[in-house]
Amino acid sequence: MEKALKILFLKNRMNVHSVFYYFILSIALVLYSQNTNAQTPRPRKIVKLIRADVQEFDKSLVDAQRVKGNVVFEYEGTMFYCDSAYIYASKDFDAFGNIRIIKGSDYNLTGKFLHIDQKKKIGTITENVVLRDNQMTLTGSRLNYYIDSEIASYIGGARIVSNVNQNVLTSKEGSYHTRTETFYFKNKVVLTNPDYIVKSDTLQYNDLSEIAYFFGPTTIEGDDTEIYCENGWYNTKKDICQFNRNAWVRSEKTILKGDSIYYNGEKQFGEVFRNISIRDTTTNIIISGNYGIHYEKNKESLVTDRALLTQVFEEGDSLFMHADTLKSLPDSMGKDVLYAFHGVKFFKNDIQGKCDSLSYAITDSTLRMFYSPILWNGVNQITGDSISVSNKDGKIDRMNIRGNSFISSESKKELYNQIKGRNMTASFLENDLHSIYVEGNGQLVYFPEEEAKKDSTGLIISKPKIIGLNKGECSNIYIEIFEKEIKKLRLEKESNSTFSPMNLADKDNFLLDGFIWKGAERPKSKADLFLDSE
């Protein structure tokens, strides 16, 4: 994002100040020439008529002094050329044909018609207007100067081309306010550079503060970045900018939106405020919240205040994850890793969970949960000191549970199948738990059921009943699960297993040490993720 935010045209701005400065000077030259006969005696610099083929006055033709043919004026080294000129008694002034105002190698202003309205105090040069200096060239159809307000402007469109940095600025209207040293460009403002294009409704720049302001829909298009806002500013002196109102930044892989986007080029960090949305188009991940910050130097970004991650999968299912803070930071291989801190909860149709913190490797969709993690998958509740989940093609593939591993499921009301051990490895098939391998201190409690009774058509006529309690322990346990029931069980190394019919089972054996059923904490929807943080 840094490059896009630093390519605003005023960073290497063309000297548009000279466009209006020389025009003002040109108008002043003509006005000054009309006041050389003023009665108040004082030393003054004289505008000299160097030559004209004809000088005449014929009131029957026009009530003005006329000079015609190769007319040349000179004022302090500035030369004024035209084909003819009228100087009226009202002190209005008209010059016609091939007007050229030249000051050595400094500038050259040309046009076809110049008019000075003394009463309205407006000077205007029109038709094929061209102003050149050693830095830029302005072409247009009309330039005005308002003497009292000291405002120079153009209407009808103009094109300003920089000889310094190849910038080309066009707009339908433009003005320079001498007193405040402020430029205004309005109506279809377009700034073109080999590296970017700026399009805006209104662009304002103050030469004193060196701050540019954008008003109305504005886009900045670079080779790999596009910026949009409807209000914003850029401090060219401090290299700080802010984009407001429906602001967004689009790069090759990311779309960033927010009510306000701020960037400090010198310190290389940006901030985004309110209604944030950061979308990675390659992974279909969207991160939202109300405050975000980005540090360009180490590529670190974080979002907080109702932070939410959404990942959309092909089949239409989505993963939603909420935490107090979501942070993205490249790993040692330069791959983006997402970290979530404090109050982490997530929801997906086939898996839900909560913990204090986690990391999520976006490239391979590997989830690692820390500090009191809980996972729910189907009927199963999974806990441990840490849990990692590997996904493949948007589906759960493998799970590693390390330290105090526990998997449980509710068989019947207040009867729970339980598997406990030091570490566990679980595999999944079509997002359902398929097998579990317990390594170290393995224990289990489960309640086997008789098969459901069916009629000749296969219709179930009586629900299955629990037939007893099976409790066992050994070093390692291997379990296979089919249709959410244990179908294969292997106890390894010094196994000890007992079966008791339900009428003889001791209720003290129904629960393993450390078992806590936390079904009430399970998120049931995306909305549940925010219940504790409202």
Where do the domains of the chain lie, and which CATH numbers do they carry? 380-533 (2.60.450.10)
Tokens of 184: 């205004």
| Cα 457 from Cα 361, distance rounded (Å) | 50
Count the alpha carbons within 13 Å of 199 in the hemisphere toward its beta carbon: 8
8 Å CB contact between 277 and 259: no
In tens, the pLDDT along 179-216 reads 888 888 999 998 887 777 889 999 888 877 888 888 99
Q: By three-state DSSP, how is residue 237 classified? A: coil
- The pair phi, psi for residue 450, each rounded to 5°, is -75, 160
338 pLDDT more than 80: yes
31 confidence band (pLDDT: 50, 70, 90): low
Q: What is the pLDDT of residue 346?
A: 92
323 pLDDT more than 90: yes
| Cα 382 from Cα 408, distance rounded (Å) | 7
Question: C-alpha angle with apex 467: 464 to 472, nearest 5 degrees?
Answer: 125
Q: What is the CA radius of gyration of the chain?
A: 40
* pLDDT average, residue stretch 15-25: 56
Q: Where are the alpha helices (DSSP H) in 231-277?
A: none
Burial of 76 (0-12, 13-18, 19+ CB in 10 A): exposed
In tens, the pLDDT along 241-300 reads 889 999 988 887 788 889 999 888 778 888 899 999 888 877 778 889 999 988 877 788
459 pLDDT more than 50: yes
